[in-house]
Structures are given as C-alpha cells and as structure tokens.
Amino acid sequence: MAVKVGVLALQGAFAEHADYLRRCGARPIEVRLPEQLDEVDGLIIPGGESTTIGKLLRRFGFEQPLREFKKPIWGTCAGMILLSKEIRGGLPDQLALDRIDLRVTRNAFGRQVDSFTTPLELSNLEEPIPAVFIRAPLAEPLSDRVEVLAEVDGQVAAARQDKIWVSSFHPELSGDLRLHRAFVESCKP
C-alpha cells in the first residue's frame, strides 16, 4: 500500500508538494483538520506565509497535535519557520512549534534578493539540487541534536533533527524529486 503523506493545506504551496509526492508513488492527503493527522504516516508543512499559517493552525486547533505528532514532519520555507524553536523577525506572538532546535531568521536575504535559484549541495544527496529560495529564512542551530544538511552564507538552509526535516528553499519547485523520495522513504511505517 502507498505511504500516506499529509500536506498541510491551509495556505501556501501545498498543491505542488502533493503533485511531487504522487510522482514518488506516495498518496498525498491534503490536511485541513487536526483529526486527519491520525491517518497519515508523515506530514509536509509547505512554504507560504508563516504568520498566516501560524494563525490558521491556532484557529483550527493544530497547535498541540503538531507539538505531539510522533511521525516525520518536513517543513519547507514557511514550514521551517513554524517548526523552529525561536523566530527572528516574526510577529510578537508568532507560532513557533519548537520541534527543531533552530533559531530561524525570516526573510534572511533581505528585500533586494527576493527570490533566486542556485545549485545547493546537501550532505544526504550525491548531486546538488536546484534550490529555489523565495523570501527564504536561514537559521542557526541551538543544539548539537541538529544535523545540518546544507548551508548558505554560513547559516542553515537544510537540517534534520530526529524525524523533523527542514529546508529553507522550495523543493517542490526544483524539478527534482530526490528530497521528496527520501522523505517518503522515511515515512514508511
């Protein structure tokens, strides 16, 4: 049976993730209610606007379930911000789910560099991935539990801590399925 991977579908780039998951042979489930977390083997929190996604997560009762979710979670861009322990440049009450020991800086490339694509080396992939950065965050590790997978300008662009994965770029726009394949593999029960 295909692995069921949830894609949080409250706001942002969820449709593209669902498409990539399908192409990897997984069954994507668009998650709009916390109850749906029980039926999935893992979850992607997509890019979008972290302040908006955070507000919607609180409004729909996702906060506690996501703090306690035991299966793999992959946060991309805004999703990385939401999974971090500390947020710089966020709203005063912005939701930080504290699932990975990172201090993340929103919009780390400033206004001049709004978005760009660059080949990025990741320590878990043999060849670089075309990484699409869109008003992207960067982070610094707060503990040695964080496994840094890629850096840009000496800061974290991709990392893992136990079952939590984060990337500051948009892998669902890269035309490259390798990271989705690796995540799907890690979701197999």
Task: Give the gyration radius of the chain's Cα atoms.
Answer: 15
Tell me: does residue 131 bind ligand GLN (CB under 6 A): no
Tell me: does residue 174 bind ligand GLN (CB under 6 A): no
Provide the minimum distance between the beta carbon of 38 and ligand GLN in the complex, in angstroms, as a whole number.
Answer: 27
Please, which of residues 63-122 interact with ligand GLN by CB under 6 A?
A: 77-78, 81, 106-107
Nearest-5° Cα angle at 24, 131 to 186 = 80
Provide the minimum distance between the beta carbon of 70 and ligand GLN in the complex, in angstroms, as a whole number.
Answer: 25
Write b or e for each residue in 142-152: b if 16 or more Cβ atoms lie within 10 A of its Cβ, otherwise e: eeeebebbbbb
Question: End-to-end CA distance of the chain, in Å?
Answer: 11
Q: Which of 134, 146, 150, 184 binds ligand GLN (CB under 6 A)?
A: 134
Cβ atoms of 156 and 10 within 8 Å: the answer is no
170, 180, 185, 187: which is the annotated catalytic residue? 170
Residues that bind ligand GLN (CB under 6 A): 47-50, 77-78, 81, 106-107, 134-135
Which residues form the catalytic set? 77, 170, 172
